[in-house]
Amino acid sequence: MIETLIIIRTKNEDRWIKHTIEKIYSQSYKNFKIVIVDNFSTDRTVEIVKQYKLPIIKIKKFIPGKAINLAYRKFPCKFTVCLSAHCIPENNKWLLNLIKNFKNKKTVAVYGKQLPIFNTSDANYRDLKIVFGNDKRIQKKDYFFHNANSAIRTQILKKYPFSEKATNIEDRIWAKNILDLRKYQIIYEPKASVYHHHGLHQNNNKKRLNGVVNLMKGIETENLVPIELTISNQKIFACLIGQVNNKITNSYKKINNELIKKLNEDKRIEKIFFLVTNEALGELNIPKSNKFIFVKRSKYLNKASINSILKFFYSKLKRYNIDYLAYFNLDYMHRPQNFLDKLVSASTDDFHNITTYAEKINNVWFKKKKIITKKTDQLENTRNSGNYYHSLYGLGSIFFYNSLKNLNFEKNTTFLIDTNNPKYSLRFSQVKNEI
């Protein structure tokens, strides 16, 4: 029998699951087994989990307590650990610091500290800092308990399982029932810490909240960036798309030779895939590099949309287990200064599925059948509260690789970098005489 079973409950967690699993495997305490309880994820979560050959239990109607009960009943163990898929252990002592508290026989459960990260909202930051302090606590009446990062004696769980009716706070319901027995204790262990960007409460006055959080951040110095999420730990590939519709000019050669040189010299870019016609490749100055991989451009890909090309690379790059894919089209006549740094830093500053250059546009009209609707107009006296943008994917974009499975680019996962200059939308295929 294994000593510790780690249960990770998942639902579309492909942004996090790899980092969480890798950090678990780096723990100094090794007597554990990981099991995944998945609520029919539609992203790459299950696909990623299968790479680690972990057992997966499927649960269609998700009840948090039921998900935990299913796992420990199937895999015998001494201790049951619950860890949210989006909780990354802070260091390699996390699991040891949880489990060692069971030396006291009265201790039936332990929960650890939860740390905010660099892009945690003000409300979540404040809540996590207030609730999860630095002092260890022994709780005999206080039934606060949190299954995002917890450990429980399995023999107690078998006798007193989690509610399979409660849709939330199953952890606190369970803890209250246990402590009401008046013979057990729960430990809060701050040394068993994880990074967790979610919070506990949501509704607050934003202005006041921002002031409170700034004061709190000023009190102590802390690292809010898990090492797994730093740029140096992101696996980034790039792809170059190119075909020639007009005569290849010196300007075409110059701008794209510079692009290839920058990508080749950038240590953050591990591999560069060329989906470029032989005609264009023959005119470019391409140095020898183990970064370069040349892909044959089929007739289908010559006519394919950007969606089809991204799907093609999603399928082709699965075995590389990458984090981000940068995308460039050789057809663009100009690129902004430091364009690559801006793309990479913006994409890793927050959890964007796509970061792309875009051009602000005015005088936008929408036509459906015979009905024309004015969207923006410079002649209007009223000011619009927002702006319209034309995305320039080929000028430079970077995609969170897992999002390419469903091409999931919702409004809250997209980041636009304004070019602030119309020249950056110019393309060689669209002009007869170079400017």
Per-residue pLDDT of the chain (435 residues; tens, 9 = 90+): 899 999 999 999 999 999 999 999 999 999 999 999 999 999 999 999 999 999 999 999 999 999 999 999 999 999 999 999 999 999 999 999 999 999 999 999 999 999 999 888 888 888 999 999 999 999 999 999 999 999 999 999 999 999 999 888 899 999 999 999 999 999 999 999 999 987 665 445 566 556 656 655 665 667 788 888 888 889 999 999 988 767 788 999 999 999 999 999 999 999 999 999 888 888 899 999 999 999 988 877 877 888 999 999 999 999 999 999 999 999 999 999 999 999 998 888 888 888 999 988 877 777 787 787 776 665 555 555 578 888 999 999 999 999 999 886 666 688 999 998 989 999 998 876 554
In a shared domain, residues 339 and 362: yes
Q: Are residues 97 and 208 in the same domain?
A: yes
Q: Do 303 and 211 sit in the same domain of this protein?
A: no
Q: Does residue 406 fall inside a structural domain?
A: yes
The domain boundary residue, chosen from 171, 194, 229 = 229
Please check whether residues 248 and 223 belong to one and the same domain: no
In a domain, 435, yes or no: no
Asked if residue 218 and residue 363 are part of one domain, the reply reads no
- Of the three residues 175, 210, 229, the one that is the final residue of a domain is 229
Q: Which residue has the tokens 């999002």?
A: 403
Could you tell me if 59 and 115 lie in one domain?
Answer: yes
Both 206 and 244 in one domain: the answer is no
85 in any annotated domain: yes
Q: Give how many domains the chain has, as a whole number.
A: 2
Shortest CA distance to 47 belongs to which of 417, 405, 421, 346? 405
CATH number of domain containing 193: 3.90.550.10
Residues 344 and 304 both lie in one domain:
yes
Q: What is the pTM of this model?
A: 0.82
Enclosing domain of residue 396: 231-430
Residue 192 belongs to some domain of the structure: yes
- Report how far residue 354's alpha carbon sits from residue 343's, in angstroms, rounded to the nearest whole number: 10
Task: Among 194, 229, 264, give the residue marking a domain's end.
Answer: 229
Q: Are residues 316 and 256 in the same domain?
A: yes
Q: What is the rounded CA–CA span in Å between residue 347 and residue 324? A: 9
- CA 122 to CA 134: how far, in whole Å? 20
**CA-based nearest residue to 126, from 219, 213, 214:** 213
Cβ(235)–Cβ(97) below 8 Å: no
Together in a domain, 130 and 27: yes
